[in-house]
Structure 1
């Protein structure tokens, strides 16, 4: 399935909320309320995107658009159909957008330490592990460590040629 990114609208929020509340996804993301997503849609420091194929297949939230450091965070990515390469394609599209359109110097994200599959995905796309934030968030099963991964603009340029 070919995918693209499009801005999230309020009409998409039922899909977004259902996606992040799906039991398969809840281990990896802290669900937001509808109001939090509505606020995010209006926040000029954020971009809220739908991953769109022939139907919505996920969503992405970018943060730090106004960063004087030109450092943009992939705050959230949730894909509904696992194992089909949609997450890989969505991250590649987003990475291109961040460096080519938003002119970022640094693109970064945090992944839960137990989520080895996602860590491997980011690393396979050129992201570098920069460190770990030990016990920085409390989940349903206790404190969780986050792995910090990032790509710099010169590294992106080497990848895309």
Structure 2
């Protein structure tokens, strides 16, 4: 799997990258919005055939974030964007990363559905997801217990035919 544009490149996460990944997960700007895994969970994901754990770098080779994609072996042809975390914020890297993921899966594989969940209060991320074609499907109410309270998550997806229709009207490239 090779994903790249003029601005960004995705590469397989290596053990040496896990410090960056763990720091991104525990960054106070990110922790309210994303799940956190242990080092052991990340290590296991690096060799799991059902998961792509990828580092996102900019054109200068700086690590700007990471993404975890699950469901690679799903017979229903559905891939989950389990986590996408951008450390260099306000540069358009999140939106560009999503476009690259969407393009790659719908142009290079037989995937039918890309989906993700987003915490209900994360309006910034939801706006970015909608801007690249994800559609709100519903809310899983009080489905995460964090700290001393429950949080709800929204499920969003984009289907192959929606992507193809969008190509007629918008440029994903």
Using structure 1 for the length normalisation, give the TM-score: 0.96
The corresponding residue for 1:33 is 38
* Aligned residues: CA RMSD: 1.2
Q: Which runs of 5+ in 1 are unaligned?
A: none
Contact kept, 8 Å, 1:4 with 1:93, in 2: the verdict is no
2:51 to 23, 46, 52: 46
1:73 to 68, 75, 80: 80
Runs of 4+ in structure 1 over 6 Å off: none
Distance in 2 separating the partners of 1:141 and 1:73? 27
* SS of aligned partner of 2:127: helix
Q: Structure 1, residues 4-63: CA drift from partner, whole Å, max 9, x if none?
A: 111111111111111111111111112111111010001100100111112000000000
The corresponding residue for 1:8 is 13
Q: Which runs of 5+ in 2 are unaligned?
A: 1-5, 169-173
The corresponding residue for 1:87 is 94
The answer to whether structure 1 residue 157 and structure 2 residue 164 are counterparts is yes
Distance in 2 separating the partners of 1:42 and 1:23? 28
**Alignment coverage as a number of residue pairs:** 161
